[in-house]
Structure 1
Amino acid sequence: MDKTLLKEYSNYFKLQDNNNILKFYGVIRDDQYSISLVLEYATNGNLSSYLKTHTIGWCFKAKVCRDIALGLMHCHDNNVLHFDLKPENILLDKDLVPKLADFGISKTKSQMVLDNGKAGGTINYVAPERVSGDCKMREFFYKYVLS
């Protein structure tokens, strides 16, 4: 099994008891070399597409922000760092509940220490201090986030 898919499977499995994480149902083998994750169907697609086609009010925006924060808090409480949080990776179910998805480049806090704090991500959504390599931010990250 591909390492990225295995990590994604592992992280979905760890995070299943939260309403703001896309539900994981299992894996299927498509053929001898291909394995796919079976995940919850998000009827309303991703947040990016939804915002382009719908006008939404402040109450809905606040609810989405709160639910994303709750999902991230659940990830962090379970030692998982997403590293690719963007509107395309936030899916909306039939009730418009936002669900965090795509844990392909996620890492655990211990992996961050082993990788010297490096991780991928979509460049438009990566924190500026990560792109610039700001040493003070790295020290802050190690001291307060990973400890």
Structure 2
Amino acid sequence: MATNEQNKQTVLSTLPKDLPLDFLRTSTDQFSKDLIIGTGAFGTVYRGTMPDGQTIAVKKLAENAPLARDKAFTNEVQNIMVLQHQNIVKLVGYCHEGQKKVVQNNGRYIVADVFESLLCYEYLEMGSLQKNLFAEGSICLPWETRFKIIKGICDGLRFLHSIPIIHMDLKPENILLDHTMMPKIADFGLSRLFGQEQTRANTQNVVGSYGYIAPEYLYRGEISTQSDIYSLGLLIIETTTCEKNQPNHNQPSAREFIDKVRETWTDGYIASMYSQCHGNDLQEVKVCIEIGLECVQIDRKKRPSIQNIVGRLNGRSTNRM
């Protein structure tokens, strides 16, 4: 007999990829505020209900997103639709539909085509890693669960970098969790798809989340897979310590947070914080802190590769680079 999860996957797989705007309006009760499950620079995410009762997440891209909506939409659709991995959120449909509306232009009213861009994802009931780690009243997840999340994020990033896709906005808000606490990397609005021979790029338009942006990108506009490794290091540190990286506009880097972790999370402190853990769990915590701090080194060439990180998390001793 098929399980509910299998039925859910079958229903989602039968959806047409290009969904009508009116269909998505109906599924979200006309984009009701009561159905908002997340907001960000790129738009608002609503919980949508299919005619058969299945749930999807509908992201309506914002008009004032950091990138032009067409570019963000193209990035996300083209990059995600081809991705099939258990640690990458599944894009099940999209909508890019124009409707004629009366709008004001230079003091005059004109009829223009106004486009709405929407993305439809599998619905992940446990929400974001941010919510599960740091929401008011939340209790730090058991170490076994957090270690599973760290390993899953790393597996997903290894898959992305093999394509190669650079995510460019890894942070707890962009890691979603299913009912088994399986992590899935989401929100590809800033991602870059590189040619196989291309390893680095430069840009003057630096966008992303303060506190997670690699210094070479923040200050020099340099983009590489090592940009993601820096952000991953902060994710690993936050998930391991249950301490929040809280940068501000006056201090866009995470240096203060990193220095505090490096100073505080010594072997002795780890042993006292995890006094109920067995020796193997303690070793896992130490390895995660060690990897996280290596990932956030200022010199990108000194950061470990994602292959190295995955190997070490799986208990294989490898050379750092």
TM-score class, shorter-chain normalisation, is: 0.7 to 0.9
Equivalent-residue separation in structure 2 for 1:20 and 1:48 (angstroms): 16
Q: 1:78 to 1:134 in 2, by over 3 A?
A: closer
1:39 match: secondary structure: strand
1:2 match: secondary structure: helix
2:173 paired with 1:88 = yes
Moved more, 22-31 or 44-53: 22-31
- 2:184 is aligned to 99
The runs of 5 or more residues in structure 2 that have no matched partner are 1-68, 100-114, 223-297, 306-321
- 2:131 is aligned to 49
Of 63, 67, 73, the match for 2:148: 63
Of 57, 60, 77, the match for 1:9: 77
With a CA cutoff of 8 Å and minimum separation of 6, indicate the structure with the bigger relative contact order: 1
1:19 match: secondary structure: coil
How far off is 1:42 after superposition? 1.2
2:146 paired with 1:79 = no
RMSD: 2.9
- Residue by residue, what CA displacement relative to the aligned partner does 1:26-54 show, whole Å, maximum 9, x if unpaired? 11346521021110111011101111223
1:34 match: secondary structure: strand
Q: 1:50 to 1:31 in 2, by over 3 A?
A: farther
Equivalent residue letter for 2:123: Y
Equivalent-residue separation in structure 1 for 2:90 and 2:157 (angstroms): 15
Equivalent-residue separation in structure 2 for 1:71 and 1:86 (angstroms): 14
- 2:119 is aligned to 37
- Residue by residue, what CA displacement relative to the aligned partner does 1:37-82 show, whole Å, maximum 9, x if unpaired? 1101110111011112233122111111100000001111111100
The runs of 5 or more residues in structure 1 that have no matched partner are none
Equivalent-residue separation in structure 1 for 2:194 and 2:149 (angstroms): 26
Q: Among all aligned residue pairs of Structure 1 and Structure 2, give the percentage whose two residues are the same amino acid.
A: 35
Equivalent-residue separation in structure 2 for 1:99 and 1:134 (angstroms): 27
Question: Does the CA contact (< 8 Å) of 1:14 and 1:78 recur in 2?
Answer: no
Question: Does the CA contact (< 8 Å) of 2:76 and 2:188 recur in 1?
Answer: yes
Equivalent-residue separation in structure 2 for 1:30 and 1:49 (angstroms): 32
Question: Does the CA contact (< 8 Å) of 2:91 and 2:119 recur in 1?
Answer: yes
Moved more, 103-112 or 121-130: 103-112
- Residue by residue, what CA displacement relative to the aligned partner does 1:96-136 show, whole Å, maximum 9, x if unpaired? 111100000000224875x5266532121112333343999
2:131 match: secondary structure: helix
Equivalent-residue separation in structure 1 for 2:94 and 2:216 (angstroms): 36
Quick check: which one's helix share is greater? 1
1:26 match: secondary structure: strand
Question: Does the CA contact (< 8 Å) of 2:203 and 2:221 recur in 1?
Answer: no
Q: 1:49 to 1:74 in 2, by over 3 A?
A: same
Equivalent-residue separation in structure 2 for 1:134 and 1:103 (angstroms): 19
Of 90, 93, 116, the match for 1:26: 93
